[in-house]
Amino acid sequence: MNNKVILQGFEWDLPADSQHWNKLKEMSKEIKEYGFTAIWLPPAYKGTAGSEDVGYGVYDYYDLGEFDQKGSVPTKYGTKDEYLEAIKALQEQGVEVYADIVFNHLIGADEKEVVPAVKYNTENRNEPISDEEEIEAWTKFTFPGRQGTYNDYVWTWHNFSGVDYDDRNKDHGIFNFADKGWENQVDDEMGNYDYLMGCDLDMENPETVEQLNKWGQWYQELTGVDGYRLDAVKHIEFNYYADWILNRREEKGKPLFVVGEYWSGDLPKLEEYLDSSGNLIYLFDVPLHYNLYEASHSNGEYDMSQIFAGTLTAAREDYAVTFVDNHDTQVGQSLQSWIDGWFKVHAYSLILLRKAGVPVVFWGDLFGIPAQEIAPVGDALVHMLKLREKLAFGNQVDYFDDPNCIGWVLTGDYEHELSGLAVVMTNAQGAEKEMTISAIHGGETFVDILRNNEAKVVLDDTGKGVFPVNDGQVSIYVNEKLVEKYFS
């Protein structure tokens, strides 16, 4: 059994020194030793801000840090060769590599075009607020620095459905091209959330779809990645990715792990997307993130017994990718919703030491965010990763029977020596919880691996014990023999 766990291999404020691919190559063994089975890498193609671009302002899909474009040859993270070397090093350690795919928009066009367009209400994209008129839009991508290497296609306004700027009138608005309209099967925020930013890709145009498929074939053959993280899927026609993923799967000759970012706390929307995409895609459990955020900022008033209420993990556990924070939820970012520091260990316990969902650990939580003077979560997170790898086996039994103090056990199994554990946490005053791990652990002594509580819990013949936890803390009880084996 493999307790899969993914490292999000970046944060927003990494130094723009083009050294990240080299760093990941050097850290490949360390990443494996932490217990990670996979890593999600940031977008590797050239962005409109060149070596300063985090990767989501996509300019040229075919420039992986190889051509002098947008003021630099390397991307923020390094060169094409360094990227490929990092992937190889990670895979040689047995760590799968997932690439970040941004198919919603292009930004930083090389030339303007005169385009017929209709202006829309920015707050309600179903409401046109002008007649069709000509605008000047930055929509022609010729990629002069690349000069047709790998692919000579020129992107024009026909590949896009809209922009947010008319250069002729210096007007920052939402403009839809000609009589295209917006795609229907997208999120209904803003009335219709097809348009997000930049030059919005038109998935109704067969040439656009063809070019993205050609690129996918080229990219996968070049990189050999093991899966994908799909950006901003709620802004793209829900069924678009089915064919793209099936094509990549056929080329790879095996299934690929694919997770989509549908940023919504509304569970029915996530379920609708899963159904529309043919159940080929996992989704990030955004509702769970918001529950964790609320709990961390509620001063102990949050009902912890309901922490999984309304989440994808509870409704579709086989398709849920769980996380605590990410690059977008960092302080100062567009989706800022940073989990308060005192609750980080609670939150990671809830995703790393349970059966449901595939957890992601954020780079900024594991290694800190120096630019914001945010320290790493620390040894507790490192211990939980090791526990997940070595001990988190068997059946799960929940004791979510109190609004402040909850717990659960994993019974362990015979295949993994000394496996099995008990977790108890409170968001208020200290407490204790009677829980049964398993009769196979009868008479054993369990201790808190986090050392938040000094109790030694001796289980009775049925594997039952009383597990204490201090004010506002988490305690994770494991067989005391394990401390020397894995945590000395």
| Closest of 232, 131, 247, 110 to residue 183, by C-alpha | 232
231 is catalytic: yes
* 3-class SS shares of the chain: helix, strand, coil, % to 5: 30, 25, 45
The backbone torsions φ and ψ at residue 119, rounded to the nearest 5 degrees and listed phi first, read -85, 140
Number of neighbouring beta carbons within 10 Å of residue 250: 9
Residues in contact with 484: Cβ distance below 8 Å, sequence separation at least 6, in sequence order? none
Q: Which entry of 82, 96, 100, 231 is annotated as an active-site residue?
A: 231
**Are 11 and 376 spatial neighbours (Cβ–Cβ below 8 Å)?**
no
Structure tokens at 67: 């051509």
Q: Which entry of 13, 261, 365, 448 is annotated as an active-site residue?
A: 261
261 is catalytic: yes
Helix (H, G, I), strand (E, B) or coil at 129: coil
**Are 103 and 201 spatial neighbours (Cβ–Cβ below 8 Å)?**
yes
| Closest of 66, 70, 42 to residue 56, by C-alpha | 42
| Closest of 163, 186, 185, 183 to residue 175, by C-alpha | 163
Helix (H, G, I), strand (E, B) or coil at 298: coil
**Are 208 and 201 spatial neighbours (Cβ–Cβ below 8 Å)?**
yes
**Region class of 335: left (phi > 0), else alpha (psi between -120 and 50), else beta:** alpha
| Closest of 388, 292, 288, 307 to residue 345, by C-alpha | 292
Active-site residues, by number, are: 231, 261
